[in-house]
């Protein structure tokens, strides 16, 4: 998200930065970057990336027809005009990275980079929204946090940006370092370290090391923010001992620089009292989870370190609604408009830590008249050798949250289903589309139903399918 409409790249600048050449000596200027013709806006520079799902060169003609100012390509694609505005480079991903580094070099704003096992996207969204009220703010769209998402976000940044907020993710060690060095953040944050993506690591320490790579791009004199409540706090702190970096922390711990003083949860949000570097602040959130509140005070700490006003930021945080797939709630009328089903959409992703946090939120929401709490859960991926045990272990926190009925999806979730008492079992299916045929018909007015699971494609369970089926259910005649 960027506030500003000035020219982003000209043909001359882009050619100089990338070492490419403008086909047919075309002159153009672009006001945005695009890698997808479905979302391309008129005047964008279309970057033809090659990936597992296809080659962007196949869509260049379509991009130009839709109004792209030019296309960044490695060769002249078929179907384009002889004088088409093309910037030809050796490799389009490298070209995008060149644009990214040039955009970073020409911007004097404060750059903030966020990583963590869970919570990084939500924290990035909170920070971007809170900073947007205080200056021109640019942030990663959606979860653009990988080897192409980070350079895409940087290359799309206008030089007048006051605040840049970047999410950086990883699946393996060594992936964060080059991205952090590209961003060269003034402030970095690690939301937490947990056994997520552990399948690619020998142990949880390996995950801590991988998250700690975000320090590699931190500028001299920069600031690092760590979770004081996390077991890896001291380990990560030690990585900074020989750096010209100032460490700050957040959490409920009494020594935290941003300390959660009071947390009052409710079914529709929470009230938070915090102390941010000796400044008291109170605010509300439209999220119920304590983990969200902790990331909110980390956000305020980062904003204060960036020179922002945390009172203004805290007010903006209260306006943020949960994102689709990340806790957004909606009412579904299945026959009694005064007693609807409450649908909680947590379908975007999942891990053992995130599952348990979601169950605590579900426990706060009282069902309506005659209703019950229902969880519809899909496989959690990349858990390695402990996957079966981690899924089965969810039975206890589900019981603690007073969830009366559980539906499971995917071969891994079968471990949970088998661990549930008979009275809590709804149904199990390996395929989400099959489960989507069952769950809507068992709902009753007043039910509270949460859908959560890891993303997947093909035959893997895709929990969004179930969310869509539940939404469509309200259109039926009951």
The pLDDT-based confidence of 199 (bands split at 50, 70, 90) is confident
Contacts of 71 (CB under 8 A, 6+ apart): 45, 46, 47, 48, 60, 63, 64, 77, 80, 84, 85, 86, 87
Whole-angstrom distance, CA of residue 346 vs CA of residue 325 = 4
Structure-derived torsion over alpha carbons of residues 94, 115, 232, 175, reported in degrees to the nearest 10: -20
Helix (H, G, I), strand (E, B) or coil at 245: strand
Region 320-336: mean pLDDT is 87
Q: What percent of the chain has pLDDT over 70?
A: 97
What is the arithmetic mean of pLDDT over 410-436?
A: 95
Per the CB < 8 A criterion, the answer to whether 457 and 378 are in contact is no
Span 404-423, average pLDDT: 96
H/E run at residue 110: strand 110-115
Confidence of residue 456 (pLDDT cuts 50, 70, 90): low
How many Å apart are CA 74 and CA 80, to the nearest integer? 14
pLDDT number for residue 289: 83
pLDDT at 1: 41
pTM: 0.84
Which tokens belong to 186?
């003034």
Comparison of pLDDT for 39 and 143, the residue scoring more: 39
pLDDT of residue 429: 95
- For range 101-130, the mean pLDDT: 96
The CA distances from residue 317 to 144, 259, 269, 345, in Å, are: 22, 17, 12, 20
The per-residue pLDDT for 58 is 97
Alpha helical stretches, state H, 170-323: 176-183, 204-212, 233-238, 290-305, 310-317
Q: Answer yes or no: are the C-beta atoms of 17 and 3 closer than 8 Å.
A: no
Quick one: tokens of 99?
Answer: 């644009």
Q: Which domains occur in the chain, in start order?
A: 9-90 (3.40.1390.10), 107-317 (3.40.1190.10), 328-473 (3.90.190.20)
Quick one: 193 exposed, middle or buried, by C-beta within 10 A (0-12, 13-18, 19+)?
Answer: buried
- Give the range among 197-201, 301-305, 373-377 with minimum mean pLDDT: 197-201
| Mean pLDDT, rounded, of the chain | 93
Task: Read off φ and ψ for residue 134, nearest 5 degrees.
Answer: -125, 0
Cβ atoms of residues 412 and 338 within 8 Å:
no
Q: Which pLDDT value is given to residue 126?
A: 96
Which positions ≥6 away from 331 have C-beta within 8 Å? 340, 341, 342, 343
C-alpha pair distances (Å), 134 with each of 192, 313, 314, 337: 27, 8, 12, 41
Contact at 8 Å (CB) between 223 and 245? yes
Question: Could you tell me which of 180, 11, 204, 193 has the C-alpha nearest to residue 119?
Answer: 193
Token pair, residue 102, equals 């040039």
DSSP characters over 255-282: T-SEEEEEEEEETTEEEEEEEETTEEEE
In this predicted structure, the answer to whether residue 476 has a pLDDT above a threshold of 80 is no
Q: Which of 167, 189, 353 is nearest to 258 (CA)?
A: 189
Strand 258-266 to 269-276 pairing: antiparallel
Q: What are phi and psi of 189, to 5 degrees?
A: -140, 135
Lowest mean pLDDT segment, chosen from 258-262, 263-267, 298-302, 423-427: 263-267
Over range 212-226, report the average pLDDT.
Answer: 98
């Amino acid at each position: 998200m960027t506030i500003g409409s000035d020219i982003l790249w000209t043909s001359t600048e882009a050619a100089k930065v990338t070492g490419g050449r403008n086909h047919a000596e075309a002159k153009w200027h672009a006001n945005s970057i695009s890698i997808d013709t479905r979302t391309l806006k008129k005047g964008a520079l279309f970057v033809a990336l090659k990936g597992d799902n296809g080659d962007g060169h196949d869509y260049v003609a379509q991009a130009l027809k839709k109004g792209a100012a030019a296309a960044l390509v490695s060769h002249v694609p078929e179907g384009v005009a002889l004088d088409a505005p093309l910037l030809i480079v050796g490799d389009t991903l490298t070209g995008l990275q060149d644009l990214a580094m040039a955009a970073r070099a020409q911007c004097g704003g404060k750059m903030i980079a966020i990583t963590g096992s869970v919570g990084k996207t939500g924290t990035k969204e909170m920070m971007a929204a809170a900073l947007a009220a205080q200056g021109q703010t640019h942030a990663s769209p959606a979860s653009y946090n990988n080897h192409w998402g980070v350079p895409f976000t940087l290359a799309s940044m206008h030089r007048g940006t006051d605040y840049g907020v970047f999410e950086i993710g990883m699946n393996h060690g060594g992936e964060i370092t080059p991205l952090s060095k590209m961003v060269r953040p003034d402030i970095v944050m690690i939301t937490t370290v947990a056994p997520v993506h552990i399948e690619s690591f020998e142990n949880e320490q390996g995950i801590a090391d991988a998250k700690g790579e975000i320090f590699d791009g931190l500028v001299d004199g920069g600031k690092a923010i760590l979770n004081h409540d996390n077991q890896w706090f001291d380990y990560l702190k030690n990585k900074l001992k020989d750096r010209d970096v100032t460490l700050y922390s957040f959490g409920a711990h009494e020594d935290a620089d941003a300390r959660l003083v009071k947390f009052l949860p409710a079914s529709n949000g929470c009230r938070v009292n915090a102390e941010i570097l000796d400044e008291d602040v109170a605010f509300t959130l439209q999220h119920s989870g304590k983990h969200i509140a902790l990331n909110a005070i980390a956000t305020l700490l980062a904003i204060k370190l960036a020179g922002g006003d945390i009172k203004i930021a805290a007010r903006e945080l209260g306006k943020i609604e949960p994102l689709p797939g990340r806790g957004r709630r909606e009412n579904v009328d299945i026959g009694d408009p005064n007693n609807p089903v409450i649908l909680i959409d947590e379908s975007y992703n999942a891990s053992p830590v995130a599952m348990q946090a979601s169950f605590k939120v579900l426990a706060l929401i009282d069902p309506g008249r005659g209703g019950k709490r229902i969880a519809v859960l899909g496989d959690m991926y990349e858990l390695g050798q402990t996957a079966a045990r981690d899924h089965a272990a969810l039975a206890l926190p589900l019981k603690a949250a007073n969830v009366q009925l559980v539906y499971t999806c995917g071969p891994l979730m079968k471990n949970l289903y088998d661990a549930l008492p008979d009275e809590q079992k709804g149904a199990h299916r390996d395929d989400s589309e099959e489960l989507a045929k069952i769950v809507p018909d068992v709902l009753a007015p007043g039910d509270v139903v949460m859908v959560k699971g890891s993303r997947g494609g093909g035959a893997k369970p895709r929990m969004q399918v179930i969310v869509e089926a539940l939404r469509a259910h309200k259109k039926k005649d009951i």
